[in-house]
Amino acid sequence: MSHRYFRGKIERLLSGADIEIDGPAPWDIQVHNHNFYSRVTAQGSLGLGESYMDGWWDCEKLDEFFCRILKARLDTRIKTLTVVLDLLRAKLVNRQSLNRSFQVAQQHYDIGDHLYRHMLDNRLIYSCGYWKDADTLDDAQAAKLGIVAAKLNLAPGMRVLDIGCGWGGSAKFIAERYGVEVVGITVSENQAAHGKAICKELPVEIRLQDYRNIKGSFDRIFSIGMFEHVGYKNYSEFFRVARRCLKENGLFLLHTIGNDQSVCCNDPWIERYIFPNSLVPSAKQITSAIEGFFVIEDWHNFGADYDRTLMQWYHNFLENQCVLASCFDDRFFRMWSYYLLSCAGSFRARRNQVWQIVLSANGVPGGYNSPR
């Protein structure tokens, strides 16, 4: 079949989101290689992302392009063999098993702190900021950590578990400000080394460890931006571990990206190039896994704030492109820009959310009052 046939198919699809090929709007795409059309028709999301990395097409405002595509739910209109095979693998294999749990660190978090130091805030917090009263990325991340501490009602002398502690910024923040003892776990060697370095004068222990191997008893537990790596086959085990480690009068705060639909496998492009073995949970999947372990005390959604956070990360990444050029090639820059801007578009379209869920072991006597 000629490229005109496949171009017609893609044109008709994109028209449902008011997007034109070689059009004048900033969200329109400019196609440089006619093979783009058959590639996207055959491979869907994977073909779209890979062809962008290959320079086959461009778009002035990728974030707006994806916002329009996802609002119109065009992503559900193309079913490819890649998607079918991913779905089959997800059903047959536990892609987030203990043996696989360190893969995401090796591919994503351990690619070099140089990148993250030039993209994130000064604490290296790699999750959604809280922009309610903030004007800068540093302030938004401090506000997020502050609201986590307030929801957990932290008090001096408490022992706190941070599941998925990243580069140790959250552990350092609460240990310094609230006088608590913190155990943080991560599957990333880079993150663990950095966390140990910045927390060496504090009552903080950073462990290179999978959540399934956690031992001990804690007054409070929180997990920020790690649950997306747990996988639907392991949700119940995650909450079983958290319940085992939480004292009877304790609180557990889960901060996670949320999906508006229950799925069992990730977007193929994100899976291959950004977050292997990841999965964004739905509310249904979370509540089903919580049942029998915790009482839900509070559920807070500030997903729109992730759009602003991602755009700030992209601004920082773009601003430091010359500094980063010694470590990364043009294909990486296109890949990373595509990642940040496609995700921003997803949150802008409200297809993804950010949830902070406060859980108690047996229900807070007299009720729980959550700060905002």
Residue 82 pLDDT > 60: no
pLDDT digits over 114-125, tens only?
899 999 999 999
**pLDDT-derived band at 85, boundaries 50, 70, 90:** very low
CA distance 180 to 251: 14
Residue-level pLDDT at 331: 96
CA distance 248 to 175: 22
**pLDDT-derived band at 81, boundaries 50, 70, 90:** very low
Residues 6 or more apart from 140 whose CB is under 8 A from it?
121, 129, 130, 131, 134, 305, 308, 309, 312
Residue-level pLDDT at 87: 47
**pLDDT-derived band at 111, boundaries 50, 70, 90:** confident
Residue 84 pLDDT > 70: no
pLDDT averaged over every residue in the chain? 92
Residue 31 pLDDT > 50: yes
Q: Are 106 and 276 spatial neighbours (Cβ–Cβ below 8 Å)? A: no
Average pLDDT for 222-233: 95
Residue-level pLDDT at 88: 47
**pLDDT-derived band at 300, boundaries 50, 70, 90:** very high
Residue 238 pLDDT > 60: yes
Residues 6 or more apart from 323 whose CB is under 8 A from it?
118
Annotated catalytic, 59? no
Residue-level pLDDT at 281: 97
Residue 99 pLDDT > 80: no
**pLDDT-derived band at 344, boundaries 50, 70, 90:** very high
**Which of 48-62, 87-101, 129-143, 329-343 shows the lowest mean pLDDT across its residues?**
87-101
Residue-level pLDDT at 86: 53
* Alpha helix positions (H), the chain: 3-15, 35-53, 62-71, 81-92, 103-104, 113-117, 137-152, 169-178, 189-198, 235-245, 268-273, 283-290, 304-319, 321-324, 330-348
Residue-level pLDDT at 101: 54
Average pLDDT for 202-208: 97
Which of 59, 67, 245, 343 is catalytic? The answer is 343
For the whole model, what pTM was predicted?
0.93
CA distance 210 to 207: 9
Closest CA to 224 of 272, 169, 275: 169
Residue 2 pLDDT > 80: no
Average pLDDT for 204-220: 96
Residue 192 pLDDT > 80: yes
Residue 314 pLDDT > 90: yes
Both tokens assigned to 313: 């990360």
Q: Domains in the chain, please, with CATH?
A: 3-78 (no CATH), 101-360 (3.40.50.150)
Residue-level pLDDT at 74: 86
